[in-house]
């Protein structure tokens, strides 16, 4: 299987490329390309599922590429369709303009030799600019990702789901585990390519993470269907340059309309969200 080649666009260090992506469209918006076949507009449902997904993603990207900093496919939505779904993912990656970042939401975490192959798959085969990963096997497990200075690694810290509290609020040396994770990631950031995942459902915790790690970029899920506090989280999560935050939205953009005008509606939803974010910045 051949790799997706965007090498010229990836010559710079990841943090520099992320800053350029924020500035290019004056946007902190990250649209999740997470299509569910059953939720696609009716006129696409007659196509084979993988073809329908590619057609849907093409229109979403065409409609929103001048409004976003990043697109974030969650691999589960493609893996669930088997080989055809993974082929649809590769075809989707080609649709994204090279100046827009792509983030593979894979949440990988395993021992180092396995992670080396995950890095090869996600960065070299699928061509992602950044990925999500788990911290719980430690730095040696993450090294195959962290060693790639031109690629980003957003590490789970304080996720948006309610059940995360069972783990991330456990006390470690007098502070919650999520702050201990944030501190470790800050120390691991030798190549300036590490970031944190913190949910918009917990703006107070996000503010604590930002205070602890003022220089790390943050991936912010939980806006929209999970009812995260957009304005509060943006205010808490931006860095000293009023940047450094990727605000993830998916369903409220992808499914803004179920009709043939879905791409137009997606653009309007994305623009409204970008403008709300920028008003807080």
pLDDT mean by block of 10 residues, the chain; 281 residues: 55 89 97 97 95 98 98 98 98 97 97 96 98 97 97 96 92 95 97 96 96 97 75 96 96 96 98 96 88
CA–CA separation, 55 vs 66, rounded Å?
A: 19
The residue assigned the tokens 């800050």 is: 186
Which domains are seen in the chain, by residue range?
A: 7-280 (3.20.20.70)
* Active site amino acids: 107
| CA proximity to 200, closest of 158, 263, 139 | 158
Strand partners, 194: 153
pTM: 0.94
Helices then strands (H, E): number in the chain? 12, 10
C-alpha dist (Å) from residue 192 to 12, 13, 211, 257 = 12, 8, 18, 39
Strands 130-133 and 101-108: what pairing? parallel
Q: Which of 30, 35, 3 is nearest to 217 (CA)?
A: 30
Please give the pLDDT value at position 228: 65
pLDDT at 18: 97
pLDDT at 229: 86
The pLDDT, as a whole number, for residue 8 is 43
Q: Which two tokens stand for residue 174?
A: 């007098």
Question: Do 193 and 153 contact (CB within 8 A), yes or no?
Answer: yes
């Amino acid at each position: 299987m051949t790799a997706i080649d965007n090498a010229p666009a990836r010559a710079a260090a990841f943090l520099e490329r992320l800053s350029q992506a924020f500035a290019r469209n004056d946007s902190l918006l990250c649209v999740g390309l997470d299509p569910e076949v059953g939720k696609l507009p009716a006129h696409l449902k007659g196509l084979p599922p993988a073809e329908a997904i590619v057609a849907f993603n093409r229109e979403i990207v065409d409609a929103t590429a001048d409004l976003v900093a990043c697109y974030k496919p969650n691999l589960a939505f493609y893996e669930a369709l088997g080989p055809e779904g993974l082929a649809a993912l590769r075809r989707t990656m080609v649709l994204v303009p090279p100046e827009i970042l792509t983030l593979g939401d894979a949440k990988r975490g395993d021992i180092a030799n396995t992670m080396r192959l995950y890095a090869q798959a996600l960065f070299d085969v699928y061509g992602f600019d950044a990925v999500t990963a788990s911290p719980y096997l430690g730095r040696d497990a993450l090294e195959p990702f962290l060693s790639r200075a031109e690629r980003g690694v957003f590490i789970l810290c304080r996720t948006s789901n309610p059940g995360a509290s069972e783990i991330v609020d456990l006390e470690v040396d007098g502070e919650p585990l999520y702050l201990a994770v944030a501190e470790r990631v800050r120390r691991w950031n030798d190549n300036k390519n590490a970031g944190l995942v913190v949910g918009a459902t917990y703006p107070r915790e996000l503010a604590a993470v930002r205070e602890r790690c003022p220089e790390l970029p943050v991936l912010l899920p939980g806006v929209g269907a999970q009812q995260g506090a957009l304005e509060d989280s943006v205010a808490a999560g931006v860095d000293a340059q009023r940047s450094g935050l990727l605000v993830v939205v998916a369903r409220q953009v992808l499914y803004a309309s179920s009709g043939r005008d879905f791409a137009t509606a997606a653009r309007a939803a994305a623009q409204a969200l970008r403008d709300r974010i920028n008003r807080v910045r």
